Amino acid sequence: MKNKKHAIYLKTSFASTIFFAIFCLTLIANQANAQATKSKPWNPPASAIELKNPFAGDANAIKEGKKLYVTYCTPCHGNSGKGDGIAAASLNPKPADHTSDAVQSETDGAAYWKLTEGRGPMISYKQLLTDNQRWQLVTYIKTLGKKK
Ligand code: HEC
């Protein structure tokens, strides 16, 4: 008799633990969804916006930047930088379109800061790439608008 009571108690507490776990997961999933669908503005600090690109317009930097871009960035940003890489479909928010006016009109410093810091699926490249490599990438990205 005592054992049976114990068993029922165990079953109930097990069931409520499962329900509670599912409840929590639903909350987390909702939260993640809400964050993902809201495309929040991504504003670099003024000090980053003012940073000068040491390679601006440099032909060799564009060449090196393109090599890095093909290796690291095209899976998401696509071959032409339009944000249509093979991994793009599964991402939220979508990878930025580097040919867009929004990206082309921001300062080199702003783009450099974003790719250094990262946000969401766009990881931080601070550790993966050197300063020079990140500036070379920005120099290359700034040539993509003209190809439209
Ligand atoms: C895993 C997919 C992925 C990879 C790989 C990736 N990005 Fe991104 N990138 C994103 C996403 C997603 C965003 C939009 C992030 C947001 O708005 O929160 C983004 C945004 C950016 C932006 C900001 C655009 C803007 O000006 O608002 C820059 C710059 C950028 N990426 C550069 C790069 C570079 C350079 C590489 C390669 C070194 C790279 N990304 C690799 C997914 C990726």
Model confidence at 37, pLDDT cuts 50, 70, 90, reads very low
Q: What is the dihedral of CA 83, 89, 124, 78, to 10 degrees?
A: -30
Report which of 144, 31, 45, 32 is spatially closest to residue 96, judged by C-alpha positions.
Answer: 144
| pLDDT score at 23 | 54
How remote is the CA of residue 142 from the centroid of ligand 1, in Å?
14
Residue type, 92: N
Instruction: Provide residues with CB under 6 Å of ligand 1.
Output: 42, 72-73, 75-77, 87, 91, 93, 95-96, 103, 106, 111, 114-115, 119-122, 125, 137
The model's pTM: 0.80
Residue type, 110: A
CATH number corresponding to 46-147: 1.10.760.10
| pLDDT score at 40 | 82
How remote is the CA of residue 15 from the centroid of ligand 1, in Å?
43
- Name the residue of 76, 90, 124 whose CB sits within 8 Å of the most ligand 1 atoms, as the mutation to test its pocket: 76
Q: Whose CA is nearest to atom 40 of ligand 1?
A: 73
User: Which tokens sit at 32?
Assistant: 């993640």
User: Which tokens sit at 103?
Assistant: 């990206």
How remote is the CA of residue 3 from the centroid of ligand 1, in Å?
59
| pLDDT score at 34 | 46
- For 75-92, the pLDDT digits (tens) are 999 999 999 999 999 999
d(CA 79, CA 61) in angstroms, rounded, equals 18
- For 101-142, the pLDDT digits (tens) are 999 999 999 999 999 999 999 999 999 999 999 999 999 999
Q: Are 36 and 93 in contact (CB under 8 A)?
A: yes
Mean pLDDT of 35-49: 80
Domain spans of the chain, in order of start = 1-38, 46-147
d(CA 97, CA 141) in angstroms, rounded, equals 10
Q: Is the pLDDT of residue 56 over 80?
A: yes
How remote is the CA of residue 25 from the centroid of ligand 1, in Å?
28
- The mean pLDDT of the chain is 86
Cα→Cα distances 19→12, 14, 28, 107, Å: 11, 9, 14, 50
Q: 10 Å Cβ neighbour count for 25?
A: 10
